[in-house]
């Protein structure tokens, strides 16, 4: 863990001023850097504070939950970096308690050059370099499954989407990918790992951001799938490739499937990963896109019910229309 200079007073003031429906209208300068299912990533404050990225997570109900999550967050970063061999940005974590008693966790990382993030980079490097970028990411991901094969009591999961990787030492004046390009994994806020087969992250936390009237259905139909897909190399890579539809690069799908299958067959044959087909990628993306469109629609309904009818807080920040 790094000793990042986190300003607790700034975060308290930010949370006090925050309107989750209009985060950009806060009196404290903020920039939304990205959205997740449970969180939103911000740059907060004036230029003196703009070197950090804060992932805001208002999903915790008591001190015990917050502290348990913070331990897992730090442990997951350490496992990736020190045991698996995947680099992460300098990181830290902190939480605040608002005047209303709500606890908000902030996962903090050193802010990176936006153009170095994978889903940005694929729009300004060549197709050939994009194929190489994905092959190099597959090489990073393979470290996870080699690690898992050699450890009986510890198993690590990962979300390998291209938007979760940043090009290390990125040069804005000379963007490009080479065989020796290295990466940082940035999506460590979902600490997915099992000890002796037991998931360490409480899966119920994923449901805190779910529409309240659908929690039972999501728990029944989807929660197990969400918690297990990131431990399957084949599905992680299917998800990675399918995400190129969302990133508006569908013309690369066929070539990326060839890259992945060649990698499975020649670089990691010992892992015996099932080859990927274009039919599987298309079907996966259609289902995933449908689920998340429905998820966002119902969350907006839930926000309306809570804020307009019940006059309660809705602490989550919802993205606008997502192009898919």
Sequence-ordered list of residues with C-beta below 8 angstroms from that of 78, at least 6 positions apart, any chain:
1
> Given this model, what pLDDT does residue 295 score?
81
pLDDT digits (tens, 9 = 90+) for 157-190: 999 999 999 999 898 888 889 999 999 999 999 9
Quick one: average pLDDT of 252-274? Answer: 98
- Residue with the larger pLDDT of the pair 121 and 205: 121
Fold of 8-110: Phosphorylase Kinase; domain 1 (3.30.200)
> Given this model, what pLDDT does residue 1 score?
60
pLDDT range class, residue 206, cuts 50, 70, 90: confident
Quick one: average pLDDT of 15-44? Answer: 87
C-alpha 270/C-alpha 203 separation (Å) is: 31
Report the first-to-last Cα separation within the chain, whole angstroms: 36
C-alpha 250/C-alpha 246 separation (Å) is: 8
> Given this model, what pLDDT does residue 55 score?
95
Give the CA distances from residue 105 to residues 67, 68, 97, 229, 272, in Å, rounded to whole numbers and listed in that order: 10, 11, 9, 25, 39
DSSP conformation class of 35: E
pLDDT digits (tens, 9 = 90+) for 66-123: 999 999 999 999 999 999 999 999 999 999 999 888 899 999 999 999 999 999 999 9
pLDDT range class, residue 27, cuts 50, 70, 90: confident
C-alpha 127/C-alpha 121 separation (Å) is: 11
pLDDT range class, residue 224, cuts 50, 70, 90: confident
C-alpha 278/C-alpha 247 separation (Å) is: 17
Quick one: average pLDDT of 56-67? Answer: 94
> Given this model, what pLDDT does residue 5 score?
86
Q: Which of 29-38, 75-84, 237-246 has the lowest mean pLDDT?
A: 29-38
Tokens of 215: 């929690």
Sequence-ordered list of residues with C-beta below 8 angstroms from that of 47, at least 6 positions apart, any chain:
none
> Given this model, what pLDDT does residue 222 score?
67
Tokens of 50: 């703009």
Quick one: average pLDDT of 204-214? Answer: 82
Q: Is the pLDDT of residue 323 over 70?
A: no
Quick one: average pLDDT of 189-193? Answer: 94
Q: Which of 127-141, 143-157, 180-194, 282-296 has the lowest mean pLDDT?
A: 282-296
Q: Is the pLDDT of residue 232 over 90?
A: yes
pTM listed for this prediction = 0.92
Q: Domain locations in the chain?
A: 8-110, 114-309
């Amino acid at each position: 863990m790094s000793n990042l200079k986190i300003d607790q007073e700034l975060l308290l003031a930010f949370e006090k001023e925050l309107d989750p429906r209009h985060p950009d209208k806060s009196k404290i300068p903020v920039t939304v850097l990205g959205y997740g299912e449970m969180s939103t990533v911000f740059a907060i404050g004036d230029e003196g504070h703009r070197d950090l990225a804060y992932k805001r997570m208002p999903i915790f109900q008591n001190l015990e939950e917050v502290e348990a999550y913070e331990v897992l967050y730090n442990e997951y970063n350490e496992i990736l970096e020190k045991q698996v061999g995947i680099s992460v940005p300098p990181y830290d974590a902190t939480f605040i308690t608002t005047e209303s008693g709500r606890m908000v966790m902030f996962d903090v990382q050193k802010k990176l050059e936006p153009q170095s993030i994978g889903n940005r980079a694929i729009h300004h490097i060549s197709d050939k370099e994009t194929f190489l970028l994905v092959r190099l990411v597959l090489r990073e991901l393979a470290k996870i499954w080699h690690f898992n094969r050699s450890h009986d009591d510890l198993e690590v999961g990962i979300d390998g989407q291209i938007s979760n990787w940043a090009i290390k030492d990125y040069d804005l004046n000379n963007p490009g990918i080479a065989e020796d390009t290295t990466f940082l994994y940035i999506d460590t806020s979902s600490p997915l790992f099992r000890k002796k087969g037991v998931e360490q992250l409480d899966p119920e936390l994923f449901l805190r951001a779910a529409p309240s009237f659908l929690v039972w259905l999501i728990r029944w139909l989807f929660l197990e799938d969400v918690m297990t897909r990131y431990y399957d190399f084949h599905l992680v890579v299917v998800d990675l490739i399918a995400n190129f539809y969302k990133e508006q690069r569908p013309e690369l799908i066929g070539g990326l499937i060839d890259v992945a299958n060649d990698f499975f067959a020649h670089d990691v044959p010992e892992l015996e990963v099932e080859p990927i087909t274009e039919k599987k990628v298309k079907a996966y993306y259609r289902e995933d896109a449908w689920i998340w469109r429905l998820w966002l629609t119902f969350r907006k309904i839930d926000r309306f019910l809570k804020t307009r009818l019940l006059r309660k807080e809705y602490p989550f920040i919802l993205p606008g229309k997502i192009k898919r």
